[in-house]
Amino acid sequence: MGVNKGLLKKWCLATAVVGMMAALLLLSERYVPTDATPAGKMRIISLAPNVTEMLFALGLGDSVVGVTEGADYPPEAAKIERVGGFASPSIERMLALSPTLVIGEEGAPSAVVTTLHKADSRSLELRIRNFGELFDAFGKIGEATGTAGRAAEVVAAMRAELAEAARLYGSVPPAARPRVFVEVWRDPITTAGGPSFIDEAIALAGGVNVAHDVKQAHPTINPEQVVEWNPDVIVLCYMTSKGGAAAEIARRIGWADIAAVKSGRVINDIDPDHLLRPGPRLIKGVRALAERLYGPRAGERPGLAEGASP
């Protein structure tokens, strides 16, 4: 009898444990924090600084409830809650914000997207490698947020700016175009290759990217290669800091003979956020680059809007 009693106890205990686990499992499945969302109000999380800029350009600033580190423009974006870095957004923080839409750039961790999907929030993954894809991305965001009209306006304004650049610099014959080397990092020396939007920006500004034939977007370059390319203009545009030292370029071993160094055409005063961030301000980067290459043609420039920001 004693044996049976013990056995019964064990069975009861086992059943209780299994039951509790099942209950927990069910509860956690049911726990979806979207209940807190008031119906009709958009709550958007942006997983990249350029996406944040695009959302503000579309007038959606008030709906953005979460951004990543580095989202510093427009200034209002800096006050929005951070959900982590570009490569490591925190799923918990994102869920706590109960978003209705999460917008990231290609390369966001897939686990994040899957989890959010389970939590009933839509996600949008953008792929922006050139101006065409930037315009498409505006369209996609517009569609997903019901601001398609505004998106079309912003894209039209940017296209007008590009057409203006094409009018000013598109007619420059290939031989007269300055050959440009853009250095986006120094150690290792990194530039922008053919598939990058920076390459496109250089072309739009009337220059020729010396690294155009390199098939990577951001290749590491041997300094020998730069010496051989012998660019007419060197643009220093580092991601993490404003402006490299032009004097340092001239002191590099073997670089004194490069045409750009000889003629002193080393440019380091373009805001990296304008040239390295594929968002609404990329137009400003193109304009800044064109002005450095050809000089400000003040008389020829009609008063176009500052980028696409409202």
Partner 1 sequence: MTGRQSTRSIYVVLLAALAIACVLAVFSGPVNVPFNQMLDSSVMRLRVARILLGLVVGAGLSVSGVIFQALLRNPLAEPYVLGVSSGAGLGAALAITLGLGALGTWTLPGMAFAGALATILLVYALARGAGGSVPVHTLLLSGVIVSAVLGSGLMFLVSVSSSKNIHNVVWWLLGNLQILDWGLLRAVSVVVLCGLVITMLFARNLNVMTLGEQPAAHLGLNPERTKRLFFVVASLMTGAAVAACGLIGFVGLIVPHTVRLVIGPDHRRLVPACALAGGGFLVLADAFARTVFPTEVPIGVVTAFLGGPFFLFLLRRRKRSYWG
The yes or no reply on residue 72 touching partner 1 (CB under 8 A) is no
Which of 6, 19, 170, 254 is in the footprint of partner 1 by CB under 8 A? 254
Q: How far apart are CA 191 and CA 231, in angstroms?
A: 13
The yes or no reply on residue 21 touching partner 1 (CB under 8 A) is no
Which of 32, 37, 42, 69 is in the footprint of partner 1 by CB under 8 A? 69
The yes or no reply on residue 179 touching partner 1 (CB under 8 A) is no
CB of 184 to partner 1, least distance (A): 10
Q: Which stretch binds partner 1 (CB under 8 A): 28-36, 161-169, 232-240, 289-297?
A: 232-240
* 8 Å CB contact between 79 and 157: no
Q: Which distant-in-sequence residues (6+ apart) come within 8 Å of 182 by Cβ?
A: 191, 192, 198, 202, 209, 211, 234, 235, 237, 275
The yes or no reply on residue 239 touching partner 1 (CB under 8 A) is yes
* 8 Å CB contact between 155 and 205: no
Q: Which stretch binds partner 1 (CB under 8 A): 15-23, 198-206, 245-253, 294-302?
A: 245-253
Q: Report phi then psi at 82, rounded to 5.
A: -90, 135
Measured from the CB atom, the residue of 255 and 294 that comes closer to partner 1 is: 255
* Ranges assigned E (strand) in the chain: 44-46, 64-67, 81-82, 101-105, 122-126, 179-183, 208-209, 233-236, 266-267
Which of 178, 193, 244, 307 is in the footprint of partner 1 by CB under 8 A? 244
Which of 222, 262, 296, 301 is in the footprint of partner 1 by CB under 8 A? 222
Site string for partner 1, 95-134 (x = CB under 8 A): ----------------------------------------
Give me 102's structure tokens. 């999460």
266: amino acid identity, one letter? V
CB of 134 to partner 1, least distance (A): 20
Task: Give me the residues paired with residue 122 across strands.
Answer: 101
The yes or no reply on residue 225 touching partner 1 (CB under 8 A) is yes
Q: Spell 259-281 as b/e; 16+ CB within 10 A means b.
A: ebbeeebbbbebebbbbbbbbbb
Residues that bind partner 1 (CB under 8 A): 69-70, 85-87, 185-189, 216, 219-220, 222-225, 227-228, 238-241, 243-245, 248, 251-258
